[in-house]
Structures are given as C-alpha cells and as structure tokens.
A and B are shown apart, each in its own frame.
Chain A
Amino acid sequence: MWKKLLVPFGIIVPIVALLAFGFTREAREIPSPIIGKQAPAFTLTLFDGGTVRLEELRGKVVFLNFWASWCPPCRAEARMLEAAWQAYKDRDVVFVGANIQDQDANAREFLKEFGVTYPNGVDRGSRIAIDYGVWGLPETFIIDRNGRITYKHVGGIGWPILTTRLDEALQGVASAAEGKGDYRSIR
C-alpha cells in the first residue's frame, strides 16, 4: 500500500514541485555577482565634451545611472534623480548618467526636457554597461568612497530607497541584495 503511494508521491510530487519552482521564478532576472566587488573603471565622454573618470572620483560616493530616452521608467524617475542630485551634491556624492542604446539627439532632448544638470555621457557600444552586467533599464549602481559597489537597483528607484542606499554608501555599508523596480529590458 505504501509502495503504491511511492509512485505518485515519490515521483510526481517532486516533478510538480520543480515545475512550480520554475513557473514562479522571473525568467528574465539575472542576479548580479558584482555587488560588494570593486567597481569596474570607466571613462565616460560627457554630452558637454568633458570626461568623467571613475578613478578620479575616489573619496566620493558615486551614483551611476544607466538610462535611455526610449525607456519609460527612465523618464519616470528623471526628475526625481535630478532632485536627489540637488539634495546630495554637497555631501560628497557625485551623480553620473550613462546613456546607452540611444540616439544622440533624443538623449539631449531628454536631458533638456527634465532639466538634468548632473554629468551625463554616452556609453558607446554599451561597453561600460556590459562591464557592469546591465540588462534592464534604468539600472543604478552606488559606489562607495573606496570604489566598491555597495548597491545595484534594476528599474525605477524610489526616493526612499535612493536616499537610504546613498546614506549607507556614505557610511561604507554594502547591501546584501540588489533592488528591483519597474524596468525595461535593454534592446
């Protein structure tokens, strides 16, 4: 009798459990291995012609945001990011925006539309983005004073999370896990 139950419960239940596990997982999610690691160095050519080198920002907390003008969640958070920049720019925090998979004119239009004042540049060929393992947009990385990635957020980042994580990074605290908001898969 127990032998008979062995077949359904010993074989079918594990299979169903496996399927249930698979079905309830977000297939597109890619857990990042780079949180807590040293941030990959980059040099970003800005829209205004200047450049930003990550090494030169040692000693400051860097808020690195990947975006594109065609990405609605990027539009949604643009004003908030600018407000956050205004709130944090005197507290040893630097905001950097990296524009990927976009057209120059559209990107400039975006910056003008939302009155973005922090340094923004084009990441040609998404080389920096790939170096950071970007797969969604917007994607945000917070890098502490020692150049270590303390937080990664895929998708729109809300004000509470942004401020909490920035404050943590200012104190050199790394988050255990990445965060997630509304995002678009990059193209």
Chain B
Amino acid sequence: MREVARELRCPVCQNLSVADSPSELAQEMRGVIRERLRAGQTPEEIKAYFVAKYGDWILLSPRPGGIGWLVWVGPFAGAAAGLLVAGFAIRRWSRRRRDAAPGAADPALLERACREALEKEEPPPGAMPRSPLETERVQLYAALRELEFDYRAGKLSAEDHAEMRRDLGARAATVLAALKSAPPIPAPEPGSSSAGASAPPVRRRRTWRLAAGAVFLLAFGVALAVFLSASLRPRMEGMGSPTGDFLTGTGPGGISPDSAGTMAQMETGRPGDEAAGAMPGPILAQIQEYRARLAGNPRDVAALLGMAGLNFQRQNLKEAIDYYKRVLDIDPGNSEALASIGLILGGAGYVDPALSAFDRVLAQNPNDPLALWSKGWILYEKKQDYAGAIQAWEKLLATSRLAPEDMDQVASLLIEARKKLAAPAGAAPAPVPPAAPSGSR
C-alpha cells in the first residue's frame, strides 16, 4: 500500500506524498488504495485510476513521455553539457599554458632576447607609442636586466639565476616571435593617430559589454520585481508562519500555543485543553468563519472573542486588544475580554492596570476561572507576589471544575510558588519562570 501511496502526490499538501501526508484527504486516499488492492487491482491500475481523476499532476515522478520527458532527460543533458563546456575550457587553458611554456620557445630567439636585453638601452617610457606586445617586450627585457644585475651583485645563486633567466628569456622569445609574425603598425610615426586607432575598438567593446551588463541587470531586476510581487500572496492575518510557532511552541507568556487550548479556554472560560490537535487548516477555516460572521454582524461578540483569541494565540497582541476592545464597546463587563486584556497588559509589564482589570472581573464574579488564573500568573511572574498567586490559584482549584491536565498544571505551579515563598527572598536568584510557558497553563 505504501509503495503506491509513496508515488502519489497529496493534492492538498506541498510536496508531500500520500504516504507521508497527515491530511484527512491523504488518509482517505490511502483508504481507497487499500480497498482497491484488496479488490485485486495492481499498483499500476490504481495509479492509473488516480491519474484519470487528478491528471498526471498526481504522480510524484512524471511519466517519461511528453513534457515529462524533458524533466527526465533535462538534468542529464544539462550535466553532460556542463561537463562538455568544462572540458573545452580546461583544454583551452592547458593549451594556452603550453604555448607559454619555456620548451616551446625557439632557442635562437631566446638567445637573442637575452643578448638584446643587456645591450639595448630602451628609450624612456612614453617617448614613443608602443603596441601591447612591444610594451610586454620592454618589460621582459627590463626584468632580464634586473636579473643579471642581481646575479652579479651576488644576490642569486647560479641555479636560480639560470632558471629565472631561462623562464624570462622564453617569455621574451615568445613575444619576439609574435612581433615578428605580425609586425603591428611597423613604423610608429610620432604624433600619428596609430595609438588612437588601436584604442577605440577596445574601448567600444568595453562600453558595449558594460551596456549589455547594465541592460541585463535592469531586466533581471524588473523581472524579479514584477514576478515576485505578482506571485507573493499576502499571509492571512493571524496566521504567521504556518509551522513556526506551532512547531516551536512559542506562545505568549503563559498562553498555550495550542489553538484548541486557547479556543476552548476562550469559549468555556477555563484554561487550555490540549487534547484536540491544532492544525493550521482548521485555524484558517476558523478565521474565515469569524470573518464571514463579522461581515454579516459586526457586533457578533462570540466571533469577536474568537478572532481576539486566535490573534492572542498567534501573538498578534495589538489586533487581539483591538478585538477585545470592540467586545468591551458592546459589552463593557465582558469578563473574558477584560481578563484577556489584563493578561496581555501584564505580560507586557503593565502590572497594575492588569491587576485592576482582573479585579474588575472578580468583582462581578469572584470565581471567574480565567481571571483567577491570570491574576495568579501575573502576580507570580511579574510581581513575585507568591502569596497572592497561591491565594488566587487555590481559589481557582477550589471553585472551578478544571480538566485534569489543567488541574495538574495549576497544582504544579502552586507547588513552585509555595517553594519560592518558603525560600528566603535574598537567597533565591532571579525568579525562574516555570518550565515552559506553554505548559504553565
């Protein structure tokens, strides 16, 4: 079964096979595969069935035929072409190296170069225009003269001198040979335009190259700007990274990153229930549903609270506060909105406004679980008022029916708080928040 599933693409995922995808559709497709295998169909027949429904798209490895043929052959063709180009390039380099190798030089020319270098006194540079080859010859001659001078001054050993002389001489000989075979502009007439005539093509070519490069860069930039901006879709508000905080578990201080937890807590007023799975898909659907409801009725308190909760859980604190404020505009005493705003404010360091928000909720309902929990947490975390935290949490445990996991978490926090209360304030280092913020609910 897995063999077939592994070769099929999951239609609702990105680059996952039906075998690897956890999505509901992939599960159902695996069910279809299992049924068909049991009914005696071959893997090929089953794949053909899915291709008939979803097209070639469904196959993870494209068929060797048609456009798929390109995908199969393309990489090999590309690699072969690359190897060929590399081969040619290497051959060209090695040939150039060989041309310059000393062995290739004509011994007569070599001798002449060494002789001339010592005899000939060069006209001062700039006195007459030179072709590039001439310039190179003059430089090599100068180097040879210097070598002789160094040798005579005793700075070089005989072997070094001989080797370097052979080397430089060979290069000079090559240049001489080139000069002889193509005497460029034989008579450098002083003041003539010969230098000017040889320069423009080079310069023009360079300008051309620059222009082509600039045009290419410009086109590349424009293409990038146009296509990238056309292809990027704005992320859904409240949906940061589709995996990010879900995988890393970085929720707001004390708030479970688990969407189900937050939602459950928002709806029932009790701290998070981590039983239900948090998949981005349902969250997205949830957001869309709230949007749709708010579009129909902007004063839909449940939808506003839902949006706020999702934003809170996604750390979009500003949006969360905005939604909670809209709730308070409609229902000024809404305990969930008040307590949540308090929790956000407290988490951001505004401890006193937070505590007064909790107290407002508790004045209406002294047993409000969210307010009790939040008050305890802010007292514990921000004020290091362990006695106050213990009092709030004990009341929470005594008055509210919590899910077993939540009960355990509150209980373990209570133990921590009691420990901290018992330890002398000076001896204890800076208060360490309980294990993980996500587990602290």
Binding site for B on A (CB under 8 A): 1, 4-5, 8-9, 12, 16, 19-20, 23-24, 27-28, 30-34, 70-72, 75-76, 101, 125-127, 130-133, 135, 184-187
Contacts and interface: CB of A to CB of B under 8 A. Distances in A.
B12 A27 contact: no
Contacts of A70: 282, 285-286, 289
Contacts of B12: 28, 135, 185-187
B52 interface: yes
A20 B31 CA distance: 38
Interface in B378-409: none
Contacts of B284: 184
B28 A24 contact: no
Interface of B: 11-12, 14, 23-25, 28-29, 31-32, 51-55, 57-58, 205, 208-209, 212-213, 216, 220, 223, 227-228, 230-231, 279, 281-282, 284-286, 288-289, 291-292
A166 B326 CA distance: 44
B227 A186 contact: no
Given A72-B288, A127-B32, A32 B25 contact: no
Residue of B23, B230, B231, B284 with most partner-chain A CB within 10 A: B231
18 contacts: A20-B227, A27-B14, A28-B14, A33-B51, A33-B52, A70-B282, A70-B285, A72-B289, A101-B25, A127-B32, A130-B29, A131-B53, A133-B53, A133-B54, A135-B11, A135-B54, A185-B281, A186-B24
B225 to A, nearest CB: 11
Contacts of B24: 101, 126, 186-187
B54 A30 contact: yes
Contacts of A32: 54-55
Nearest to B52: A33
B61 to A, nearest CB: 17
Nearest to A19: B227
B216 A30 contact: no
A75 B32 contact: no
Nearest to B289: A72
Contact of A23 (B58, B231, B282, B285): B231
B277 to A, nearest CB: 11
A115 B319 CA distance: 35
Contacts of A76: 292
Nearest to B11: A135
Nearest to A4: B209
B374 to A, nearest CB: 30
